[in-house]
Amino acid sequence: MANSKERERINFDADWQFHLGDIPISYVVKAGMTGGITDCEMLEQGEWLDIAFVDKGMESNAIPDDWRKVQLPHDWCVEGEYANDPNLGSRPGSNGYLPTGIGYYVKRFPIPASDLGKKIVIQFDGVMRCSTVWVNGHLIGTHASGYTGFRYELSDLLRYGDEGDNVVCVRVDATEAEGWWYEGCGIYRHVWLETTDRLSVANYGTFITTLTLEEDESRIRIETTIENGYQTPRDSVLVTTIFDQEGHVVVDSRRECQIGRYDVVTTSEIIIVPNPQLWSPNTPYLYTAVSQVFYQGRLTDRYDTSFGIRTIEFTSDRGFLLNGEPLLIHGTCNHQDFAGVGVALPDRLIEYKIELLKEMGCNAYRSAHHPATPELLDICDRLGMLVVDENRKLDSSPTGISDLEYLICRGRNHPSIIMWSLENEEIIEGTVIGARILRTLANAAKKLDPTRPTMAAMNHGWNWGGYAEAVDIVGYNYGQRDGQDVGDHLEYPDRIMVGSESASCTTTRGIYAFDEKHGYLPAYGTVHPSWGCTPEKAWTDVVQNPFLTGVFIWTGFDYRGEPTPFEWPCVNSHFGIMDLCGLPKDSYYYYKSVWTSEPVVHAFPHWSWEGREGETIDVWVYSNCEKVELLLNGRSLGVKAMMPGFHLEWQVEYESGELTTRGYRGGEWIAEHKLVTVGAADRIVLTPDRTELQADGVDLCVVRVAITDDLGYVVPTAGNEIQFSIKGPGRIIGVGNGDPSCHEPDKADRRSAFNGYCIVLIQCDQEAGEIALTASGIGLSGSCTMTSYFDGKCLS
């Protein structure tokens, strides 16, 4: 949303001070008492909060030294040390064996005298978990959910101009888990300070829907809610202008609005957009609606809404239709988590993850099991990724309804969102009471957004007791395990179905044998928990049964916690198609072969097995070619026909050298993959995801670090520790290696490689210049202690 003099939205992430651990709550409460505290000399250690709140003339050094400066988003949990304690989290290992706790955040800020009389709101996009907020000593609210945003108006409590600085204090209690996975701790999403006139568009106050879609025009409805916070009525004018993606005016309209004192009015109008450009994953075209509110000729507010023109339809026989055309859903389920940063992902890192998924052929993202961060929705709109946004709990209490309303009102203008998932695997699925609660949530969702279907992700198809009938779409979590999804289609042919969660295949990147001691699983994709299945079954079921609509694989990326089937020393999951660093596992190439038309041929395992000469190695190949040939040191080991959606196998007697896989279509050789026997680890190769950053203090670069031999081949078993140093206007904010049993800190300037790779995250400062990253490896020979640089220019 663009800032203007009428509406200002300021990022409030910088210059917070953080304290880990609780302090007596009475210190904070006293600050809100009438009259405050007058005798500052009587305050004890820790009571500085009262000083900051009450004595506006107190110097900033009243804050104790053990409170450190942080920039949001911030996750203090990932900064902790791993502990072999099964009580951390809601079940053993669920929180990744990292401690949670209680923390405090404080920020001082001025407000100009010119803002007196305006409406000033602080918006928190996500705090994990239970938060309590004070402003200038006044308690202004508590919020329980770690996944829904919340906002408070501050206008009455602020000091303006010469009255002094303001202080906001946030207490975060993360001791109680909300889910059964790693959730982090702290203010892990953005905070905003928003200033508007008291005659303005309401928060999430527009709702834009596509009514009809024809070749030369589209009819859209725009509903706009305007708030009047003045003591007198306001006869206003609403001007709505539609801009295309290039910034050209498409159409505009003008409506008069009579708004009573302290009243709210919603207008509705239908606008015809000529020659519409349609939104889809392949063509994510976006329009912008600019809503301007005028009173007596004066502009009081400008509110921008990004939207796309597209239609969606779910059917019981053809599956999903986008803009009238069938589209199989290639989906993954994902938590908000990444190496180096925990759940506090900078926006660029969210974008990086979506880019990786799209490169694999993924076209849909299920935010499991919670409302997605707002920036993820913006990025999916812009890059073209379908989204299932998910409600956290099956809860029809006032709090539960409020959380659902937040989810829908915040997201309903995003063209990427194609359905609302109202719950996931709740224990009362399939019961009469559960069905009542689900129906109440579905009705609330339809009231706010009648354009999208509702779905529930049901555990193993627990859909009896009227439960399935409470929503538009029945989500089958692992329905293919025993064919329940296909069987249910025969019994309920009008039921709309989707594979809401599937596979749960457990593999570890670069590992080719079961290793219970270290908590590693082989890459062949044959190991999965009792409820899961292989990737091949998960996908071919959908291909053979298009009424299943599509599938959401569990999961796109590994994540902290849920180290199934292990516990300690394993600290994160194995379900990902990519590891926690976004490095691809071998199964990545299976999905790429079935989800893209790009020629793919990929063989594994690696071909460096010193001491195993003459032993038989099980070689697998993923490909979307018609035929595949395997060659060892130039000798053909045979040509095999590729059955779409499956893999090929060869039993190969190991000898060092080169194993080559070639893919053919129409008799023509179109793709090749080579595996070679590598030499000793010798050098480091740094590969940044990009080389130009914005000098805004938040932009980020992901640097993949590979250990290679002297010929440049990655050593697939290398585990050398890599040390990093940086020069220029940038800083290291995290490291990782994808090892699910690694206990090294993510906040460090060094990391051991895991099976040849690790990553380092570089964030820029607020000045332009050149960033030089140096990496050196312990245990590597002289030639590879050479300095490797990433020269990235930060652009103003």
| Partners of 498 in beta bridges | 475
What's the rounded Cα separation, in Å, for the pair 2 and 8?
8
CATH number at residue 301: 2.60.40.10
Q: Is 59 a catalytic residue?
A: no
How far CA 708 is from CA of 226, 252, 679, 756, in Å, comes to 61, 59, 8, 8
pLDDT for 3 equals: 62
Q: Are residues 165 and 231 in the same domain?
A: no
Q: Are residues 301 and 364 in the same domain?
A: no
How many residues are recorded in the chain? 796
pLDDT for 47 equals: 42
CB atoms within 10 A of CB 576: 31
**Are 735 and 775 in contact, with CB atoms under 8 Å apart?**
no
Q: What is the pTM of this model?
A: 0.94
Q: Is residue 595 part of a domain?
A: no
Residues 6+ apart with CB under 8 A from 113: 160, 161, 162
Q: Are residues 211 and 174 in the same domain?
A: no
What's the rounded Cα separation, in Å, for the pair 625 and 42?
79
Q: Is 672 a catalytic residue?
A: no
The catalytically annotated residue of 390, 501, 536, 629 is: 501
Q: Which of 91, 100, 71, 273 is nearest to 184 (CA)?
A: 100
pLDDT for 660 equals: 98
Q: Is residue 511 part of a domain?
A: no
Task: Select from 193, 217, 240 the last residue of a domain.
Answer: 193
Q: Is residue 43 part of a domain?
A: yes
Q: Is residue 426 part of a domain?
A: yes
Q: Are residues 119 and 211 in the same domain?
A: no
Residues 6+ apart with CB under 8 A from 437: 394, 395, 396, 428
What's the rounded Cα separation, in Å, for the pair 95 and 91?
8
Q: Are residues 49 and 138 in the same domain?
A: yes
The segments of the chain whose pLDDT lies below 50 read 26-61, 782-787, 795-796
Residues of 741-755 as b/e, b for ≥16 C-beta within 10 angstroms? Answer: bbeebbeeebbbbbb
What's the rounded Cα separation, in Å, for the pair 776 and 745?
18
Residues 6+ apart with CB under 8 A from 643: none
- Element of type H or E holding 339: none
Q: Are residues 247 and 179 in the same domain?
A: no
Classify 328 as helix, strand or coil: coil
Strands 473-477, 454-459: pairing is: parallel
Q: Are residues 547 and 413 in the same domain?
A: yes
pLDDT for 782 equals: 39
Q: Are residues 358 and 377 in the same domain?
A: yes
How far CA 192 is from CA of 142, 323, 688, in Å, comes to 17, 35, 31
Q: Is residue 572 part of a domain?
A: no
Strands 191-196, 119-124: pairing is: antiparallel
Task: Select from 193, 221, 254 the last residue of a domain.
Answer: 193
Domain that holds residue 149: 7-193
pLDDT for 691 equals: 87
What's the rounded Cα separation, in Å, for the pair 349 and 568?
28
Q: Are residues 21 and 149 in the same domain?
A: yes
Q: Are residues 144 and 158 in the same domain?
A: yes
Per-residue tokens: 255:
């409506």
Number of independent structural domains in the chain:
5
The catalytically annotated residue of 425, 429, 536, 629 is: 425
Q: Is residue 465 part of a domain?
A: yes
What's the rounded Cα separation, in Å, for the pair 281 and 283?
6
- Element of type H or E holding 313: strand 312-314
Task: Select from 272, 307, 342 the last residue of a domain.
Answer: 307
Q: Are residues 282 and 139 in the same domain?
A: no
Q: Is residue 701 part of a domain?
A: yes
Q: Is residue 510 part of a domain?
A: no
Q: Are residues 341 and 363 in the same domain?
A: yes
DSSP string computed for 749-778? SEEE-BTTEEEEEEEE-SS-EEEEEEEEET
Amino acid at 535: P
